Amino acid sequence: MTGSNAPVALPDALVSRLTALLGEHFTANASVCGHHGGGGMRHPNLPPQAVAFPATTDEVAAVVRLCAEFRVPVVPFGAGTSLECHVGAVAGGVSLDLSRMNRVLRVSAEDFDCTVEAGVTRMALNTYLRDTGLFFPVDPGVDATLGGMSATRASGTTTVRYGGMRENVMALTVVTADGQVIRTAGRARKSSAGYDLTHLFVGSEGTLGVITEVTLRLHPVPEAVAAAVCAFPSAGAAVSTVIEALQSGLAPARAEYLDAVQMGAVNTAFDLDYAVADSLFLEFHGDPESVRSQARAFGELATANGGSDFRWETEPEGRDRLWRARHQAGFAALSLRPGAVPWSTDVCVPISRLAECVVETRADLADTPFPGTMLGHVGDGNFHCILLLNLDDPDEMAAAAEFDARLIRRALAMDGTCTGEHGIGLGKQAALVHELGDAVDVMRSIKRALDPHGLMNPGKIFSAA
């Protein structure tokens, strides 16, 4: 941890002015503040001293200006689903909850784009788009807000085909640390106009400003979709099949790996009967003939690598049931050790090194004194480990930290990254320095330039030093 909650109450004058601005949508209620503390897994809950619920960009700007005047920290808050305590109030202050900013502002079907307020969730957007023939594909597995997904540079199960937020955010409206409202880009599909401010803020974890509006790329709803589960004799065989498929020019929309331990947990949690083996969850998009062709070609590669027990689903209900097992894998893992607290961590490596990294990590995990599972977005080289821990056992916690450190060292030795999608937050600051070295000092310089008083989500990504 890089700090602790400031024990000093908010200035009375600030409370008075924020109450006048927002009325009942500004509160210091202990329960509400506790909900905004960002705790979970191994991280403590760090509640703010108050929570503001603005409804417009102008209200966000007014809140930020007032907090800047009184030198009070501001912590942007979306759905609160981040895994590295991104929204914990390390230095106290005001949590800026954007859930009331939930309007779809514009859809341009002919341009394949839209603009939404930061509090719109990805599922709400796709519900809004259902009659347009378009959809927004980035799927991190939870119904996260699109502002939060932008701030954390989220990705997920469909990244292998559609990319993550980095590829699908076109422009942002941002409130800077001094309360100025800026627009980072227009809607042109490409631009050479100055610094790429859009992608400076994408992934900044709320440390540079508050994202209030997001312009997104949209994609045509595929004419046909086929999903499948396939069992393999080993982790290496499963991952190698995906790599060979990509090298052969196949374009799965999803290619997800679950290890045998995780598949057993899925069966137990959801009363399913999948093979308890290293497995792939797959999905193909396109016209009916291309989907059939891709599925057939992938099946041949899988069979050559020992794949078996294919189960295909083409109807929405069946696909939803299949993907529920994948998306709820974290919940399912808890069945392996009732009462345990999960520590979910991730790394990402070049896909040519993925099979090696997965096999070595699986062997390492098997030697730990606690149960754990592995799963990942193997089409883009990203995988996760879920460690099931007794937080009151210091030996277990030390062993978990050592495992995590070995995992990160392994990924970095393969020219990978310490996190493919969980972000840095509080939990991976040392790993970021190990990965990028002096480049972190450049990040600090950017932070000081845009937030000279260190008020925007302080203590995240790196220390102030």
Using the predicted structure, report yes or no on whether residue 288 has a pLDDT greater than 50.
yes
Looking at the domain assignment, is residue 41 inside a domain?
A: no
- The verdict on residue 15 lying in a domain is no
In a domain, 81, yes or no: no
What confidence tens digit (pLDDT) does each residue in 178-204 have? 999 999 999 999 999 999 999 999 999
Of 172, 205, 220, which closes a domain? 220
Q: What is the mean pLDDT of the chain?
A: 94
Choose the final residue of a domain: 331, 353, 379: 331
Cα separation of 108 and 418, whole Å?
A: 37
Between the alpha carbon of residue 185 and those of residues 193, 214, 219, 249, 405, the distances in Å are 9, 11, 20, 33, 39
Q: Are residues 177 and 210 in the same domain?
A: yes
Residue 23 CB partners (closer than 8 Å, separation 6+): none
Q: Are residues 364 and 409 in the same domain?
A: yes
Does one domain contain both 417 and 362? yes
We report the CATH number of the domain holding residue 216 as 3.30.465.10
Residue that the structure tokens 């969850």 belong to: 281
Phi, psi (rounded to 5 degrees) for 216: -125, 150
Rounded Cα distance, 433 and 301, in Å: 40
CA distance readout (Å), 113 to 127, 132, 369, 408: 15, 11, 49, 37
Measured from the Cβ of residue 363, the count of other Cβ atoms closer than 10 Å reads 10
Q: Would you say the pTM of this structure is higher than 0.85?
A: yes
Q: What is the CATH number of the domain that holds 308?
A: 3.30.70.2190
Last residue of a domain, one of 220, 245, 266: 220
249 and 308 housed in the same domain: yes
Residue 465 is predicted with a pLDDT of 60
Predicted confidence (pLDDT) per residue in 320-330, tens digit: 888 888 888 88
Rounded to an integer, what is the distance from CA 350 to the centroid of its chain? 19
**Measuring CA to CA, which residue among 275, 210, 272 is closest to residue 238?**
275
Which pLDDT band, with edges at 50, 70 and 90, does 461 fall under? very high
- Residue 298 and residue 354 in one domain: no
- 123 and 142 together in one domain: yes
Which residues, including other chains, have CB under 8 Å from residue 65's CB and lie 6 or more apart? Answer: 178, 179
* Residue 4 pLDDT: 44
Residue numbers of the domain that contains 259: 224-331
- Considering the domain architecture, whether residues 170 and 193 belong to the same structural domain is answered as yes
- 192 & 253 share domain: no
Same domain, 215 and 248: no
- Residue pLDDT, tens place only, 44-101: 999 999 999 999 999 999 999 999 999 999 999 999 888 899 999 999 999 999 999 9
**Counted domains in the chain:** 3
